[in-house]
Structure 1
């Protein structure tokens, strides 16, 4: 998925997320492309910029994107369950970094 299409996809997901910690999702332009700014209810702003790469000769940018989909994929919601899933890993990483 090329960066421009990914940005549009992610922007839509974040707008529809209805998460209590997200106050606002808005586009902003930088480096010649549309990017995403997420403003949290705590006042923290996160700016997201998607970048892409391909093996040499892999994806000719001047040609239309060849879209490939995989049937049966359902995105997993990223609410509290994501935090519960990631928190032990993050805690272990920080504890290991302190040693």
Structure 2
């Protein structure tokens, strides 16, 4: 809209031609650069998010594969947190310790 107004003013008032056209070109360039910068930032943000999602999925799949492999090789597989507490129910461990399969081992410490 600003450029249309500037064009009309140049046609009606030719003595102001240089300043109006220059301002119009500068405004158009500023808008074009702003849109380009915004699009580039949005693209980078989207690529980072996709990369993060792919990495999370790969980690989940690797963890699942490792757990399945351990379950094939070991009698009992137990997942521990940093404080050595059991993070998930472990019915095989409870049965091995003769606590019965109804006993939940989640949250218990191994120390």
Give 1 or 2 for the bigger CA radius of gyration. Answer: 2
| TM-score of the aligned structures, taking structure 2 as reference length | 0.18
More strand by share: 1
More helix by share: 2
